[in-house]
Amino acid sequence: MEETYNGKILISNSSIVMDYFNQTVILMVEHDNQGAFGLVLNKKQKVFIGDIIQGIPDHVSRTLPIYSGGPVDPTFISVLHEDNKISQPGIEVIPGLYLARSYDTLLELLKSTSKFHVYQGYSGWSAGQLETEMDRKSWVIHEATKDFVLNQDPETTWREALKSKGGIYKYFVEHTKDPMLN
């Protein structure tokens, strides 16, 4: 494998990607010869944390949104967060951003002032599948930052990711309805 996309974001090319992944931004958590694993950052669901996970304190159970991390395995729950001081922060995906799957970690985060997002499901690729999609120009690669991941409005994330990529991507975002159609 020539290039790994660990810790990068994938921005969908809306002129090619017309399925679930249309206008999505994915944080790549792991990418190697075996395949790839990531979380869609900008698909907020119409359910809340208390609808999905039992035992969540009442004060947040109906207010904290759940994001769809992807179409694979809706029983897979994970958290992207910024708190390295909690007892089990998980793995550091990029500097200052951690991925955790522990219920206890989630409860600790609920009591903290740290920023975090909860995801249901994930995006997965088998060996070579992502590379094939890259060859078809289905994705634009960009650097990920903790602030971008945790502070974006899901409605504008895709366009903001293209703008921050700069160059021709920024130009088309600012001058067309759908920048990938040009």
**Nearby residues of 25 by Cβ (< 8 Å), 6 or more positions away:** 9, 10, 11, 12, 40, 41, 42, 152, 157, 158, 161
Q: What is the pLDDT of residue 141?
A: 96
How high is the pLDDT of residue 112?
Answer: 92
Topology of domain 8-181, CATH: VC0467-like (3.40.1740)
Give how far Cα 165 sits from Cα of 9, 31, 51, Å. Answer: 11, 21, 36
Please check the confidence at residue 92 and state whether its pLDDT lies above 60.
yes
What is the rounded average pLDDT for all residues in the chain? 91
What confidence tens digit (pLDDT) does each residue in 100-159 have?
Answer: 999 999 999 999 999 999 999 999 999 999 999 999 999 999 999 999 999 989 999 999
9 with 25: CB under 8 angstroms?
yes
Mean pLDDT to the nearest integer, 73-82:
96
18 vs 67 pLDDT, higher one: 67
Other C-beta atoms lying within 10 Å of the C-beta of residue 164? 16
- Indicate the residue type of 162: L
pLDDT at 58: 82
Residues 59-74, mean pLDDT to the nearest whole number: 91
- pLDDT above 70 for 178: no
Cα–Cα distance between 122 and 29 in angstroms, integer? 10
Gap between the Cα atoms of 31 and 136, Å rounded: 18
Average pLDDT over residues 11-19: 80
Higher per-residue confidence, 1 vs 53: 53
Boundaries of every domain in the chain = 8-181
Contact 99, 91 (CB under 8 A): yes
List phi, psi (to 5°) of 134: -65, -40
